[in-house]
Amino acid sequence: MKLRFAPSPTGLLHVGNARVALANWLHARRHGGEFLLRLDDTDLERSKPEFATAIEEDLRWLGLDWSERVAQSDRLDRYAAAAEALKAAGRIYPCFETEEELAYKRERRRREGKPPLYDREALRMTQEQIERAIANGKQPYWRFMLSPRSVAWHDLVLGERSVKLSAISDPVLVRADGSPLYTFTSVVDDLEMGITHVIRGEDHVTNTGIQLDLYAALGGNPMHLNFAHLPLLTDQEGGALSKRLGSISLRHLRKDGIEPAALAGYLAALGTSADPVPGLPRDLAPAWDIGRVSHASARFDTRQMLALNRRVLHEAPFAAVTDRLPEGADEAFWLAVRGNLDLMREARPWFDVVRGTIVPPVQEGEADFLTAALAALPPEPWDGATWGAWTGALKAATGRKGKALFLPLRLALTGEEHGPDLGTLLPLIGQDRAALRLRISSGA
């Protein structure tokens, strides 16, 4: 078994890409197969080295690795050789129509009540006409002549599927400048690299019918290929996720502090009846089953992903996050704040609370209470019992209890109305900071 993930390095990976990459990786690992990364970078104008680098970095961050890395731009000679073989077999033919001419033909067929398919007019050109067109400076692009049949396969997700090739225009495989298109390069690569399973989005179903016909024309046995098409993701409201790709790229999620185990666990369960559990791909692989993916579109709900992220952070040991905490943060700090974090980046403000300088708000009408709290501060050293002893004494002295007792103290000490348990936070803040903040918040 051999699978591949084949992104085009024309932008950053988004969650839809990541879901496809993860599904291929999990399927390969679950069944002891190989997984390769192939960069479909034959679009030389839009493909950028920086995007290729970012793709690899983001995949590794997610926990994916590969046994082989291939770039299509290094294989142009293989596509040229395959094109020559198809020419010799009479399966691709030269065309000379401009975009304007093709648009006119499509519109004319629509007016005639016909589907806007290519009319194969180029097939009627004689060799003399072809040579004359080339002599006049026109360069042909090459279309693949689809077979007059339907192509059927058993899809590992969608079940029985078929594509009627006569209802599709012959696809262009090679541009006029000689550069190959995705439809062509993918089939040449899948055939020569021994790919056995292709897992990708449902929007490729028609491409699959075309590519199976092309696969056979190149000498491959379509029975050696297995396909699984994942229903496309939607946003929380059921809209097209593609409209919001920029806001949910993996790079964006990483910057926000999403943990790879949360994203991987969520994507692996998305579209199945299983409850998502956090885990890196290596932990998720033993339970992976492509057959559990539903035929229906799946909603990418950031709230569910954040819930998993909280779970990861709340359970994370200090050793797992040391290199991402502010310099000087110790285990006591991490254990005090981790249960209050949604995202890793939220640790920084709490470190400022316990080790830095914050300016709490002045609390109108609380001057007397905060002054009494300052006077009642116990001497150091402080420990986990200090908060209870201090607030117990204040309760007895002032008669306050509940929110009236605790909220002014929390606001003065942290500048926030909610946060980590002050029993563990207070010893980290220390007497000097606590006293200064009480004075500021009292308006003294």
Structure confidence by residue, pLDDT tens digits, 241-283: 654 444 588 999 998 889 999 999 999 999 999 999 999 999 9
Asked, for residue 301, whether it belongs to a domain, the answer is: yes
Domain end among 173, 206, 232: 232
Residues 55 and 199 in one domain: yes
- Domain count of the chain? 3
Structure confidence by residue, pLDDT tens digits, 334-368: 999 999 999 999 999 999 999 999 999 999 999 99
Residues 202 and 245 in one domain: no
Residues 275 and 217 in one domain: no
pLDDT at position 246: 44
Beta bridge partners of 150: 164
pLDDT at position 236: 73
Asked, for residue 82, whether it belongs to a domain, the answer is: no
Residues 221 and 261 in one domain: no
Residues 240 and 206 in one domain: no
Q: How far is CA 46 from the centre of its chain?
A: 20
pLDDT at position 241: 63
Asked, for residue 119, whether it belongs to a domain, the answer is: no
Residues 259 and 284 in one domain: yes
- What residues make up the domain containing 387? 367-442
Asked, for residue 419, whether it belongs to a domain, the answer is: yes
Stretches in the chain below the pLDDT threshold 70: 238-247
Q: How far is CA 4 from CA 47, 82, 103, 188, in A?
A: 19, 21, 35, 13
Asked, for residue 128, whether it belongs to a domain, the answer is: no
**Rounded to an integer, what distance in angstroms lies between the CA atom of residue 145 and that of residue 128?**
21
Asked, for residue 348, whether it belongs to a domain, the answer is: no
Residues 293 and 434 in one domain: no
Looking up tokens 């199945």 gives 272
Mean pLDDT of the chain: 94
CATH number where 54 lies: 3.40.50.620
Residues 218 and 280 in one domain: no
CATH number where 305 lies: 1.10.1160.10
